Homo-oligomer: A and B are copies of this chain.
Amino acid sequence: MELLKEKIIQEGVVKAGQVLKVDHFLNHQIDVELLDQMGQEFYNHFKDKKITKILTIEASGIAIAVMVARYFKVPVVFAKKNKTLQVSNDVYTSSVASYTHQTTNQIIVSKSFLSEDDHVLIVDDFLAQGEATLGLISLVEQAGGTVEGIGIAIEKGYQAGGTRLREAGYDLLSLAIVLDMCEEPRQITLK
């Protein structure tokens, strides 16, 4: 998607450890016009699937998910990062390792909001190793629902997540794929 690629090239900030910061338009300040166009792109690609829910993770995924959901006219459900040690019986749960933050989060979704009747489009801002996406897939599977597709804003093409998901047979659309980054001198190469 050209507009997103331009934004990444112009405003993306490369940090040590292959971290790409897109705080200017996606992760802290949000360019709503850009997100609307992203929503339209995801809709065009997945519109023939009978999507009943858009699923994402708090916090950055929520803005994208809402703009996608407008086109599909279905609810958003966002998985929460569990902050307590207790897990009640009325939630589905899975563990998500974060390489960036060197932590493991438990994510949860209330059983009220995912069921075997659901055909789910998973949406998120980044795809790197694929841990977060696999965690969301697990939540849908626990509910007996169907993952109809995965929509990602920015895929890190040099990490394993995209390959893992495509080889597993998922319909994955990434709107921009980063092939290489360098902090100094700053360079971002997109597919």
Contacts and interface: CB of A to CB of B under 8 A. Distances in A.
A40 to B, nearest CB: 13
Contacts of A12: none
Contacts of A31: 75
Interface in A97-122: 109-110, 112-113
Given A62-B59, A63-B63, A75 B113 contact: no
Contacts of A113: 23, 28-29
A29 B69 CA distance: 12
Interface stretch (A76-84, A165-173, A181-189): A76-84
Nearest to A31: B75
Interface in A1-60: 23-24, 28-33, 35-36, 58-59
13 contacts: A23-B112, A23-B113, A28-B77, A29-B76, A30-B77, A31-B75, A32-B70, A32-B74, A33-B73, A35-B66, A58-B58, A59-B59, A59-B62
Name the 6 nearest CB pairs between A and B, nearest first.
A58-B59, A59-B59, A30-B76, A32-B69, A29-B113, A62-B62
